[in-house]
């Protein structure tokens, strides 16, 4: 993968799906959030309480890049993702997917949007229906959009490194890494342009994490995908991200290229996150950590 | 991974071949190897898999054979409706009780009245068979009917939430707080005399409540699972999500509840018959036979034992079959039945 630190040059997206993007299309941002604010109101009796889960977020996902979104649990990462998928009401600001405003999209436009932006879930044990075979799980999006063909399913299987003889098996017969591959294949079924990956490797053990991350990097290269990669594991992000956004209490507190964020964190929260990464080699630990009482 | 030099092009782990994950910890106890390309796994459709696993379940198979035998015996021996059976006597004609109505069933002989005769000389085998017929019909109509109602109500309430859930669940609560026996008695008295089918439907209409709550609970937990979100994310229609992604995962609960409700229906019917609201003489059911002859227990115990044995046998068989079905439908079961 060549270093991509910004918008992909127009027309530089070979796709095996055969859909060529026009130069104009390629210059549109995949996801653009401007001043996005999402609020939840809870009512207890007559008292109303408003929680601002996402607070004026400006975020852009360029085509072909991997934008990592980091932050502790409860900082609004998932809310942001759900809002992009049109599942939360927007209090202020706007979010658009390929130039299409999510809030004002008609059902038809929303369906078209869903084909371009797909999601890979965190837990491969609960994101696959245990009653369906691998083939059925991957065929599901194709069937719903009436574009099912056995060849396409085989192709998807091969893209994620599974073989045909696992067609008839159920999720319980796969390992965690294999299940996540099935989840990725399902997300790829409708030939999307953007994958939103919600901590796709945090449920896997480390050796399998590397395999899945490599698979993701490989797919990005081959299919010209853009990734919005949500994670709390900074070592994973260092492995895959082109840009990093750090989120805290509903706000983006730092946004920059991977190298900038990792080598010269501007915000104290980012330094805190970086400092909390466990380093296996004691000689390479930051001095502040090595001397701190544990 | 934190040790990696901070360069733009990250080093790759050795290989992307799927075979690399063969050594990954397998969630299956059998340790079946997942993706050996040289040894293709035979795969079965869901139906085949369930059938094979069910036929491998010894208890369930024995129970199925016994239940089929009882059913065939009950329906062919004295016939049903206008169709005559092979047993010469019917369950209503009286006669003189031979030898105090003692059963003539021996180890190798059947005799004139294998299950004996009651106080007015009616052939007790014929009566037991008629009672078994009625009880089987009621049990299965109630079991299936209440399962359908309970599943529909519970899954709609659990899936759509909101006002629909509120209405359906308050209706369920309303049915639960009224004593079942009283409710069934009143309705069946109203529907009175229109036969066992009406009685069975009445019982089904008042016994679906517990299943509705169980299914609602299951659906509530399943609809938050990620595979349902995944289905939503690809634009699946709610009906398809419900029928394809949620309900198949509740099948275990539904089957267990159905087997319970089949056994419970037999008992509920006997209570009603005892109170005079259920099956009415001269027709009989197993429950009615027991309650009718409970006073004869000390002098003519066979009048109690034979129908009791049949109730026990039917209830046990249904439970075992339910057990086998639940295991067969469980997707986490690794056994393929070979």
Residue contact A178–B21, C-beta within 8 A: yes
* Summary mean pLDDT of chain A: 80
Mean pLDDT, residues A223-234 taken together: 86
How do residues A52-101 score in pLDDT, each as one tens digit?
888 888 888 888 889 998 888 778 888 888 888 877 788 888 888 888 88
Specify whether the CB–CB gap between B180 and B206 falls below 8 A: yes
How large is the average pLDDT for residues B165-186?
85
Domain segments of chain A: what residues?
A: 64-82+106-276
Under DSSP, the state recorded for B278 is S
**Mean pLDDT lowest among A15-24, B53-62, B186-195:** A15-24
When pLDDT is averaged across residues B157-177 and rounded to a whole number, the result is 88
**Contact between B12 and A217 using a beta-carbon 8 Å cutoff:** yes
B chain contacts of residue A243, beta-carbon cutoff 8 Å: none
B21 CB neighbours in chain A (<8 A) are: 175, 177-178, 208, 211
Per-position DSSP letters for chain A, written without gaps between them: -----SSPPTT----TT--PPPHHHHTS-SEEEEEEEEEEEEEETTEEEEEEEEEEEEEEE-TT-EEEEE--TTSSHHHHHHHHTT-S--SEEEEEETTEETTT--HHHHHHHHHHEEEE-S-TTTSS-TTS-HHHHHHHHHHHTT---HHHHHHHHHHTT--GGGTT--GGGS-HHHHHHHHHHHHHTT--SEEEEESTTTTS-HHHHHHHHHHHHHHHHHHT-EEEEEES-HHHHHHH-SEEEEEETTEEEEEEEHHHHHHS--SHHHHHHHHTS--S-GGGS-HHHHHS--
User: Stretch B319-332: mean pLDDT, rounded?
Assistant: 81
Task: Give residue B146's pLDDT.
Answer: 92
In this structure, are residues A202 and A176 in contact, taking their beta carbons and an 8 Å threshold? no
Of B42 and A276, the structure prediction assigns the larger pLDDT to A276
| Residue B235 to residue A167, Cβ atoms within 8 A | no
- Read off the pLDDT band of B149 (50, 70, 90): very high
Neighbours of A130 (CB within 10 A): 16
Smallest Cβ–Cβ distance between B20 and the set A169, A211, A279 belongs to A211
CB contact under 8 A, A262 and B230: no
| pLDDT > 90 in chain A, percent | 0
pLDDT classification of B193: cutoffs 50, 70, 90 = low
Best of B5, B10, B240, B335 to disrupt the A interface (most A CBs within 10 Å) is: B10
Q: Do B6 and A280 touch (CB under 8 A)?
A: no
**pLDDT for the residue numbered B16:** 41
* Average pLDDT for A21-38: 74
Given a cut of 70, whether residue B224 has pLDDT beyond it is yes
A281: left (phi over 0), alpha (psi -120 to 50) or beta: beta
Q: What is the mean pLDDT of chain B?
A: 76
Instruction: Identify the band that residue B206 occupies on the pLDDT scale cut at 50, 70 and 90.
Output: confident
Average pLDDT over residues A160-167: 82
Which among A128, A132, A175 has CB closest to B25? A175
Q: In chain A, which residue's Cα lies nearest the Cα of B236?
A: A144
Mutate to test the interface with B, among A2, A211, A240, A264 (most CBs of B within 10 A): A211
pLDDT of residue B323: 85
Residue B107 main-chain phi, psi, to 5 deg? -65, -40
Chain A residues with beta carbon closer than 8 angstroms to that of B230: 119, 121, 127-128, 183, 186
pLDDT higher than threshold 60 for residue A15: no
Which residues are registered as beta bridge partners of B80?
A: B83
Chain B residues touching A214 at Cβ < 8 A? 12-13, 16
Residue B245's closest chain A neighbor by CA?
A129
| Closest in B1, B21, B40 to A175, CB measured | B21
> Are residues A167 and B35, on separate chains, in Cβ contact within 8 Å?
no
Asked if A238 and B6 come within 8 Å (Cβ–Cβ), the reply is yes
Domain ranges in chain B? 46-79+125-329
Nearest to A130 among B37, B332, B334 (CB): B332
Query: Nearest C-alpha of chain A: how many angstroms from B2?
Result: 5
When pLDDT is averaged across residues B307-327 and rounded to a whole number, the result is: 86
The string of DSSP letters for B287-301 reads HHHHHHTGGGGTT-T
Do the strands A226-231 and A194-198 form a parallel or antiparallel pair, or are they unpaired? parallel
Q: What is the CATH number of domain A64-82+106-276?
A: 3.40.50.300
Is pLDDT above 70 for A290?
no
Share of chain A above pLDDT 70, in %: 87
Under 8 Å CB pairs connecting chains A and B tally to 159
| Residues of chain A with C-beta less than 8 angstroms from the C-beta of B26 | 175
- What integer pLDDT is reported at residue B219 of this predicted model? 92
* B8, B25, B226: residue with CB nearest A126: B226
Q: Which of A129, A130, A257 to mutate to test the interface with B (most CBs of B within 10 A)?
A: A129
Check B8 against A208: CB less than 8 A apart: no
What pLDDT does residue B34 have? 42
Q: How far does B338 lie from chain A, in Å, by closest CA?
A: 16
Mind telling me how many Å the CA of A215 is from chain B's nearest CA?
Answer: 7
Pairwise CB contact (< 8 Å): A217 & B6: no
Range with the poorest average pLDDT among A258-267, A280-289, B19-28: B19-28
In this structure, of A12-16, A238-242, B266-270, B308-312, the range with the lowest mean pLDDT score is A12-16
- Identify the residue with better confidence: B44 or A252: A252
Q: Which residue has the higher pLDDT, A292 or B310?
A: B310
Across the interface, of A2, A173, A190, the residue whose CB is closest to B34 is A173
What pTM was estimated for this model as a whole?
0.71
Please tell me the distance in Å from A281's CA to the nearest CA on chain B.
Answer: 8
Name the fold adopted by B46-79+125-329.
Answer: MetI-like fold (1.10.3720)
Q: Which chain A residue shows the shortest CA-CA distance from B7?
A: A259
Averaged pLDDT, B262-275: 80
State the nearest Cα–Cα gap between B230 and chain A, in angstroms: 7
Record: contact A140-B1, CB cut-off 8 A: no
pLDDT at A200 over 60: yes
């Amino acid at each position: 993968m060549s270093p991509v630190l910004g918008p992909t040059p127009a027309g530089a997206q070979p796709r095996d799906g055969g859909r060529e993007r026009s130069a104009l299309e390629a210059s549109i941002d995949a996801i653009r959030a401007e001043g996005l604010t999402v609020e939840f109101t809870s009512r207890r009796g007559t008292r109303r309480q408003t929680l601002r889960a996402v607070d004026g977020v400006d975020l852009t996902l360029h085509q072909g890049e991997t934008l990592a979104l980091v932050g502790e649990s409860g900082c609004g990462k998932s809310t942001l993702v759900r809002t992009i998928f049109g599942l939360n009401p927007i209090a202020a600001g706007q979010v658009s997917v390929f130039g299409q405003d999510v809030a004002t999209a008609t059902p038809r436009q929303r369906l078209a949007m869903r084909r371009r932006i797909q999601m890979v879930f965190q837990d491969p044990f609960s994101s696959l229906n245990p009653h369906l075979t691998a083939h059925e799980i991957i065929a599901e999006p194709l069937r719903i959009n009436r574009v099912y063909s056995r060849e396409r399913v085989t192709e998807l299987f091969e893209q994620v490194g599974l073989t045909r003889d696992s067609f008839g098996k159920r999720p319980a017969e796969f390992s965690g890494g294999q299940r996540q591959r099935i989840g990725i294949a399902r997300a790829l079924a409708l030939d999307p342009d953007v994958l939103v990956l919600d901590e796709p490797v945090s449920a896997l053990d480390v050796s399998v994490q590397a395999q899945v991350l490599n698979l993701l990097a490989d797919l990005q290269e081959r299919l010209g995908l853009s990734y919005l990669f949500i994670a709390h594991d900074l070592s994973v992000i260092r492995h895959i991200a082109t840009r990093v956004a750090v989120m805290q209490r509903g706000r983006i507190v730092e946004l920059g290229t991977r190298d900038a964020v990792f080598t010269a964190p501007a915000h104290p929260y980012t330094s805190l996150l970086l400092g909390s990464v466990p380093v296996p080699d004691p000689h390479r630990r930051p001095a502040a950590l090595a001397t701190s009482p544990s | 991974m934190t040790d990696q030099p901070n360069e733009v092009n990250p080093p790759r782990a050795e290989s992307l071949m799927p075979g690399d994950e063969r050594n990954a910890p397998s969630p299956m106890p059998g340790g079946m190897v997942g993706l050996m390309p040289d040894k293709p796994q035979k795969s079965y459709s869901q139906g085949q898999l369930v059938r094979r696993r069910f036929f491998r379940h010894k208890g369930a198979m024995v129970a199925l054979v016994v239940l089929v035998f009882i059913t065939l015996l009950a329906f062919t021996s004295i016939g049903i409706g206008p169709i005559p059976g092979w047993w010469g006597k019917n369950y209503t004609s009286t006669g003189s009780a031979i030898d105090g109505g003692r059963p003539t069933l021996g180890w190798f002989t059947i005799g004139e009245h294998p299950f004996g005769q009651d106080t007015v000389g009616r052939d007790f085998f014929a009566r037991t068979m008629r009672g078994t017929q009625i009880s089987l019909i009621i049990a299965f109509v109630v079991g299936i009917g209440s399962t359908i109602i309970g599943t529909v109500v519970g899954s709609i309430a659990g899936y759509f939430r909101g006002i629909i859930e509120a209405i359906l669940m308050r209706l369920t609560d309303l049915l639960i707080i009224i004593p079942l026996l009283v409710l069934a008695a009143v309705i069946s008295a109203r529907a009175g005399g229109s036969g066992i089918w009406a009685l069975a439907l009445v019982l089904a209409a008042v016994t679906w409540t517990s299943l509705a709550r169980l299914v609602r609970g299951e659906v509530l937990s399943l609809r938050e699972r990620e595979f349902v979100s995944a289905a939503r994310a690809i634009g699946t229609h709610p009906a398809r999500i419900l029928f394809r992604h949620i309900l198949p995962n509740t099948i275990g609960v539904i089957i267990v509840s159905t087997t319970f409700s089949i056994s419970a229906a037999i008992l509920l019917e006997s209570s009603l018959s005892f109170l005079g609201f259920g099956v009415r003489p001269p027709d009989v059911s197993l429950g009615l036979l027991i309650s009718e002859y409970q006073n004869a227990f000390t002098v003519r115990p066979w009048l109690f034992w034979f129908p009791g044995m049949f109730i026990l046998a039917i209830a046990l068989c249904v439970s075992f079959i339910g057990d086998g079905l639940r295991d067969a439908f469980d997707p986490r079961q690794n056994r393929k039945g070979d």
